[in-house]
Amino acid sequence: MQRAYYESSKHKDQGHDDVLPKLIDKVKDQITNHDDDILYCIIGMTGTGKSMLGLHIHELYMGEEASAEYIALEQSTYAKVYGEVIDKPQPRIAVYDEGNVNRRSSLSKFNKSIMDLFMKNRDLNIFHLWATPSLQQLDQYFVKERIRGIFYCPSRTGNIRPYYFISRNRMLQILKKYNNLDENLLRKVVKSYALYKGWYKDYQGPIREGYNKLKRSEAYESSKEWTKTWTKKLSHELNSRQVRDQLGISLDSLANYRKQLIEGEDYRKNETGRYLYTPESLEKMRQIMKENYKRMEKGFISTRKEAVSSGD
């Protein structure tokens, strides 16, 4: 593994190592002269500076055309960015910060569609850059077919942080040997598979201000949406008496049904210790009541059959 060392006398005013621009130049050549799309991923846990490294790469690739308008922080804005990028002249970049095309939701419409999109569209001359906590979260077939390389960011501390670049071939070697690309595994084996180790500082270039505004805007919109959703939910909560009246059950029965609900989702305790239930929990309890009735009915029929057969 090659190393790009930091020298204070040489790199004091520099934001990244000397190898990174050469790598990005190769990416630009591949996209421009070979009619290709390329996807790179930046991997690392929260707080390791993935976004800062992504901004450095973004500026290196786009030069004076670098802009936060090519960065998306969620699914809806990524679709918007992608749609706008394909109509722009070269160079083109689409950045998905904290991309969450993961296994847990791999059957969702958005994630299935994005897999199909990347598998079909290979000649739009776009540099795709995703920052995500772990490659293990990404669909394995997608990883094998489309990802050209990864930047692994292991450190949460320091003004000068390291990253490791792993090529596609070496990434596939890890996958073949260990059958996963979990962040914990990468931490253990990265020195054996990385092509080189580089470094970077917090990005302070021309797109930092736009990126910060984007983050603040995203945080504001997310907070407003969360507040709107949960304020609406809380305003429709029912107390124990209201639930008992609607279902026609006793306090003891309600306590038994509550054991089969999910605290924090179906019900909660308020500051006085009283239980409050969501409207959706009523339907769940009705379903529980139906299932209990069916079991009782089956038990009664079974008992009657046994009594008849015995002559009682």
CATH label of the domain that carries residue 92:
3.40.50.300
Query: Which pTM was predicted?
Result: 0.70
**Is residue 221 assigned to a domain?**
no
Mean pLDDT (the chain) is 85
Are residues 196 and 250 both part of a single domain?
Answer: no
> Taking the CA of residue 268 as centre, how many other CA atoms within 13 Å lie in the half-sphere pointing to its CB?
11
Of 192, 216, 240, which residue sits at a domain end? 216
Are residues 120 and 261 both part of a single domain?
Answer: no
pLDDT at residue 133, rounded to an integer:
84
For residue 159, what are the CA distances in angstroms to 26, 48, 216?
Answer: 27, 11, 23
pLDDT at residue 105, rounded to an integer:
47
Residue written as token pair 């996807």: 39
With cut-offs at 50, 70 and 90, classify the pLDDT of residue 308.
very low
Please state the domain count of the chain.
Answer: 2
Are residues 279 and 163 both part of a single domain?
Answer: no
**Is residue 223 assigned to a domain?**
no
Top mean pLDDT of 64-78, 84-98, 107-121, 186-200 is at: 186-200
Of 191, 216, 241, which residue sits at a domain end? 216
Are residues 162 and 64 both part of a single domain?
Answer: yes
% of the chain beyond a pLDDT of 90: 51
Are residues 142 and 235 both part of a single domain?
Answer: no
- Among 49, 52, 50, CA closest to 41: 50
β-bridge partners, 150: 41, 166
**Is residue 222 assigned to a domain?**
no
Which residue range(s) make up the domain with 201?
2-216
**Is residue 225 assigned to a domain?**
no
Of 170, 191, 216, which residue sits at a domain end? 216
